[in-house]
Chain A
Amino acid sequence: MDAAKAPDLPSKAIVWLLVSFALLLVPQWDRLPWWLIAACLALATWRWLAQTGRAALPGRLVGTLIMLGLIAVYVLTVQGRFTVETAASFFVLAVGLKWLETRTSRDFYVLFFILCYLAAVNFLFQQGIVWTLLNLAAIFILLIGLQILNAPDAPNVMAAGWKRLGGLMLKTLPVVILLFIFFPRMSPLWSVPLVSGQAKTGISDQMDPGSISNLAQSSERAFRVTFGGEIPPHRDRYWRGLILDRFVNGRWEQWQIDARRRTGRVQSDGGVGPLQSGEYDVLLEPTYQPWAFALDGSEAISDNVEETAAGTFRFRRPADTSVRYRMALTEDKRESAFLSPQDRQRYLHLPAEGNPRARALAEALDQQTNSDLALVQSLLTRFRQQPYFYTLRPPEMPQDAVDTLLFDVQRGFCAHYASATAFLLRSAGIPARVIVGYQGGSPGADDEYLIVRQYDAHAWVEAWIPGTGWLRVDPTAAISPDRIESGLRQAVAEEGSFLENEWASAQKYGDVAVVQWLSLQMDQINYEWQRWVVGYQGQTQMNLMSKLPGNLSMRDLGYISAGVLGAALVVAGLWTGWRHRSRKPRVPALRLMGEWQRLLLKRGILAETADTPSSLASRAAQQEPVHARRHEAFARAINNHYYGSGSLSRDDHRRLRGLLRQLRRSS
């Protein structure tokens, strides 16, 4: 790169660079601080104004000040958190600042590299097919910019550039696909958290009484499920996520993060083999949390999930990208019908004070019934018969929330009722825990899979019944059977509160057939994309490979990848060589002609530019009559070649060589 010699950057190339930058910012818009986006746009605009001569680029001092200022703001915003997300925003900042320093083609390349990497960073956060296409489009545009930079005044460079790039992409596509399939997916090398804090909507590891009703306002996708067999009915689709077993300050939390883990059964074709009946595949959107969602009585099939002691499932690290895992429904209850004294204590623990009326009610229920199961049933009956309402707009319950809900307002959401139920059960001496997860899910296009959205988030209770084990107790089912039978939309239909703040969501307009159809088709395309392309990772790859003959190992895959690459290079090389060969035959005639002329020159005959082979031959013949016929034969052969058949056959070539040899020898 000759920075010194490089001319001013051509505007045509700068434009493409700017467009690409703008496109690459789009996938980041919701995670970048607003000031950063504004600053980037301002700096890029400044660069463009300078390009068109309407502004000057800042001098060194001003440039440094701007840089220091923006970096200071960045440091204040980030506050020392180091994650990929903050690194990514620093990256964006660097690109923005680089605009002011883009003067030479070297700078252009620096921007090109940074923007390429920015596209890769975007893939960390967004993997939908639309985002992918957007990123790739930005890369294409960058490459067009590079072509223009390298031949700014070439005719028609832009249209030819698109064509050339498209051609290159098509030609390399087979290699790219083969590499994608065979390149060994190694395990991560190091670990830097992708994001800081809770950037994502989703279930958290605490449950305030109001927490889940926030989620109910979001139609974002939580996960999608494909069943090998029949899709279970709506009322049975309880997706258990995590267990909250500690009640503190009116809030349910996890007592401890489960340390003991049982690994799931690992089957070799867990990830991609055809789904067996009773199995199901879950494609989870990134939650940045370690827990996986599974139906009651599931076991892990794929080895990326592990079962905890409490019967929930976890990933080894937070799901910061979309994760695909496979589970199977089993009939046998693996939970032993035994609760250790420590666990019993844990599941009975309540704060010493608070909610006195609820405690009294629990006491009363305990006395009325003779078994734990009967108590649970009488509690549910109470919820069913008394005027409790299921609403997304419950009143505030700041003090003694359980008492207020049960006896005063009697209006609440699933989280309120689950919290109250667990409290009552514990007060009555029955071990109980709150389960947070999702309930339900709506069918996707062609009913092939289920889409579970954030508004399907749900909380319910499990109670320990001696001899039975953990029993699901869902007060919401008693209060609002619609919620469990057909989902939130029906449950709050009268209230009209379904997605009341989400104007843009297609789910809100579920009754408009076209919107619903389009939304489901888009979702299906995305689902397949996520399953087969985005989700093509370690185990999935090994599973696919196990289908090929020869039981390929990771190392074999490496060899195959190298082989693919090598073969591609050889094929491309041969192809280029062949193309050149087809053009070659004309060169020998030229070479012969040159040799002849040199030979004549030695004898004092200079070939003028205007000489034809014949005129040269006649001059040569005058000079050395002995060889007259040879010279003439030579000239005739050359003329024949150029004006006759147009090709110099192997025989001609040999004959001419022979003539030259004779002429040379005689001198």
Chain B
Amino acid sequence: MIRSQGFDRKERRRTPNEGNIRRRWRGWVDRRIPLSDEQQFTQKNIFILPSGAGLVFGLLLLVMLMTGINYQNSLIYLLTFMLGALFVAAMHQTHRNLAGLRLSLVSAGEGFPGDHLTFRIRATAEKDAFGIQFISPEGETRRINVVPGEIGEFELPVPARQRGPVPAGRIQVETRFPFGLLKAWSWMRPGSTGVCYPRPVTPPYETGGEEEGVQASQPRKSDDLSHADLRPWRQGDLSQRVLWKRFARTGEMTIADWEGESGEPVWLDFNQFPGADRELRLSYLAALVESRSRAGQVFGLRIPGLTIEPDQGSAHRSRCLRALGLCGFEKHVAEAGVAAAAGGESVYARAS
């Protein structure tokens, strides 16, 4: 598991012994709650303890019992026993409230450093699960009620600090329903990570590749399609690149990929910034991806270990940015893939 920097710093401030205990506890919890985009709560991974109010309630019952004893009052005994039994029954209620809950990560967010990545989580339940609270490691709280047959969906923001995969960390899932006297909780540890793109830094100059004006790569407003590759519209294609005249004629959205005089498509290359270190290069590339995409240009990306063929549109942009964000974290990409694969389970689960 990747621990966020913030967490490590916090831990170092504690006394070694305390830190040790905490680390062991966390390790134990992590073994119980594996990294997964899919989480079903069972007896094995639900923790339950009286809440603060529950402790006070226990004290109150004790005082009531003393009052009953002292004034030999049967009805106070009765009331005490009733409330006490209710407390125990509430323990099971609270536990069951969480036990039927199934969570799956729908999507992990992406964004630039400083952004909040939105982790979309979907909750389903076999029976009523009310007052379920989700607390992100940053203390963000969401509260939902799930009824059987309905899907509860919510977004949990996770701050992105550094380029790379952004794990959601342990999302605490807790409930105090019905009476708030007990707190049942567990964690969800999504396997998929969000992606934090490199912080875009505008390069002072551009070397290598084709330095062409924005104007040059603009699609020509010409009916001469002899130099264009025609292809069907794909998601992400800018609307101004659709051949609208053709659309009016045939009803098909067609895109012309212009070559012609503009020549080769623009390649953004990791190697075009000699002297800069890796992070800086990735930042330059991110800035270029942004500016090219804004301009609607066709561009390709070459980074170590990966080549993305020239294309354009928002899907292409995020693909490039994601690749930049994850550059050097390939191991995690693989893990994220596993998690994504595990996420696929839900498809079958729902089909059953």
Residues of chain A having any CB pair with chain B under 8 Å = 1, 5, 84, 105, 109, 113, 116-117, 119-121, 123-124, 127, 132, 135-136, 139, 143, 146-147, 149-151, 153-155, 157, 160-161, 164-165, 168-169, 171-172, 175-176, 179-180, 183, 185-186, 188-191, 194, 320-321, 533-538, 568-569, 572, 576-577, 579-580, 583-584, 586-587, 590, 593-594, 597-598, 600-601, 606-613, 638, 641-643, 646
Q: Which residue of A lies closest to B150 (CB)?
A: A155
- B344 and A607 form a contact (CB under 8 A): yes
**Is B130's CB within 8 Å of the partner chain A?**
yes
Q: How far, in Å, is B251 (CB) from chain A's closest CB? A: 28
Q: How far is the CA of A169 from the CA of B43 in the complex (A)?
A: 24
The 8 closest A-B pairs by CB, nearest first: A172-B85, A151-B131, A151-B130, A597-B341, A607-B341, A123-B75, A154-B145, A154-B130
Q: Which residue of A lies closest to B145 (CB)?
A: A154
- B176 and A576 form a contact (CB under 8 A): no
**Is B151's CB within 8 Å of the partner chain A?**
no
Q: How far, in Å, is A167 (CB) from chain B's closest CB? A: 9
In the complex, per-residue mask of B95-112: 1 if CB is within 8 Å of any chain A CB, else 0: 110011000000000000
Query: Which of B65-73, B230-238, B311-319 is the contact stretch?
Result: B65-73
A123 neighbours in B (Cβ, 8 Å): 73, 75-76, 79
- A124 and B73 form a contact (CB under 8 A): yes
- A590 and B349 form a contact (CB under 8 A): yes
**Is B52's CB within 8 Å of the partner chain A?**
yes
Q: How far, in Å, is A187 (CB) from chain B's closest CB? A: 8
Query: Which of B86-94, B269-277, B288-296 is the contact stretch?
Result: B86-94
**Overall SS of chain B's interface:** helix
- B89 and A116 form a contact (CB under 8 A): no
Q: Which residue of B lies closest to A194 (CB)?
A: B71
Q: Assess A609 versus B86: contact at CB under 8 Å? Given A150-B176, A153-B145, A176-B81.
A: no
- A172 and B56 form a contact (CB under 8 A): no
Q: How far is the CA of A208 from the CA of B26 in the complex (A)?
A: 79
In the complex, per-residue mask of B30-72: 1 if CB is within 8 Å of any chain A CB, else 0: 0000001010101100000001110011001001101111111
Q: Which residue of B lies closest to A135 (CB)?
A: B79
A5 neighbours in B (Cβ, 8 Å): 141
**Is B5's CB within 8 Å of the partner chain A?**
no
Instruction: Out of B40, B69, B79, B351, name the residue touching A186 (CB < 8 Å).
Output: B69
- B178 and A146 form a contact (CB under 8 A): yes
Q: How far, in Å, is A120 (CB) from chain B's closest CB? A: 5
A584 neighbours in B (Cβ, 8 Å): 42
B79 neighbours in A (Cβ, 8 Å): 119-120, 123, 135-136, 139
B344 neighbours in A (Cβ, 8 Å): 597, 607-609, 611
- A590 and B179 form a contact (CB under 8 A): no
Q: Which of B330-347 contact A (CB under 8 A)?
A: 334, 337-338, 340-345, 347
Q: Which residue of B lies closest to A537 (CB)?
A: B72
Q: How far is the CA of A155 from the CA of B150 in the complex (A)?
A: 12
Q: How far is the CA of A418 from the CA of B290 in the complex (A)?
A: 111
Instruction: Out of B64, B69, B100, B177, name the residue touching A147 (CB < 8 Å).
Output: B177
A151 neighbours in B (Cβ, 8 Å): 130-131, 145, 177-178
**Is B29's CB within 8 Å of the partner chain A?**
no
Q: How far is the CA of A611 from the CA of B342 in the complex (A)?
A: 12
**Is B257's CB within 8 Å of the partner chain A?**
no
Q: How far, in Å, is A577 (CB) from chain B's closest CB? A: 7
A169 neighbours in B (Cβ, 8 Å): 82, 86
Q: How far is the CA of A178 from the CA of B258 in the complex (A)?
A: 87
- B75 and A143 form a contact (CB under 8 A): no
A117 neighbours in B (Cβ, 8 Å): 60, 63-64
A-B contact pairs, 7 of them (CB 8 A): A120-B79, A146-B180, A147-B179, A164-B178, A172-B82, A538-B72, A568-B85
Q: How far, in Å, is A13 (CB) from chain B's closest CB? A: 11
Q: How far, in Å, is A382 (CB) from chain B's closest CB? A: 50
- A155 and B177 form a contact (CB under 8 A): no
B131 neighbours in A (Cβ, 8 Å): 150-151, 154
A143 neighbours in B (Cβ, 8 Å): 86, 178-179
Q: How far is the CA of A84 from the CA of B66 in the complex (A)?
A: 14
Q: Which residue of A lies closest to B350 (CB)?
A: A642
**Is B253's CB within 8 Å of the partner chain A?**
no
- A189 and B70 form a contact (CB under 8 A): yes
Q: How far, in Å, is A570 (CB) from chain B's closest CB? A: 11
- A534 and B75 form a contact (CB under 8 A): yes
Q: How far, in Å, is A122 (CB) from chain B's closest CB? A: 9
- A175 and B57 form a contact (CB under 8 A): no
- B71 and A188 form a contact (CB under 8 A): yes
**Is B83's CB within 8 Å of the partner chain A?**
yes
B115 neighbours in A (Cβ, 8 Å): none
- A594 and B145 form a contact (CB under 8 A): no
Instruction: Out of A320, A321, A533, name the residue touching B78 (CB < 8 Å).
Output: A533
Instruction: Out of B56, B81, B86, B99, name the residue touching A580 (CB < 8 Å).
Output: B99
Besides the known contacts A155-B147, A612-B348, 13 further A-B residue pairs in the complex with CB atoms under 8 A apart: A116-B60, A117-B60, A136-B79, A147-B177, A175-B81, A176-B82, A188-B70, A189-B70, A191-B70, A572-B88, A576-B92, A580-B43, A600-B341
Q: Which residue of A lies closest to B63 (CB)?
A: A117
Q: Which residue of B lies closest to A590 (CB)?
A: B345
Q: How far is the CA of A502 from the CA of B186 in the complex (A)?
A: 64
- A168 and B90 form a contact (CB under 8 A): yes
**Is B244's CB within 8 Å of the partner chain A?**
no
Q: How far is the CA of A608 from the CA of B341 in the complex (A)?
A: 6
**Is B154's CB within 8 Å of the partner chain A?**
no
**Is B128's CB within 8 Å of the partner chain A?**
yes
Q: How far, in Å, is B308 (CB) from chain A's closest CB? A: 17
Q: How far is the CA of A164 from the CA of B66 in the complex (A)?
A: 29
Q: How far, in Å, is A144 (CB) from chain B's closest CB? A: 10
Q: How far is the CA of A577 from the CA of B99 in the complex (A)?
A: 11
Q: Assess A586 versus B349: contact at CB under 8 Å? Given A113-B56, A171-B89, A572-B88.
A: yes
**Is B352's CB within 8 Å of the partner chain A?**
yes
A120 neighbours in B (Cβ, 8 Å): 64, 67-68, 76, 79-80
A611 neighbours in B (Cβ, 8 Å): 344
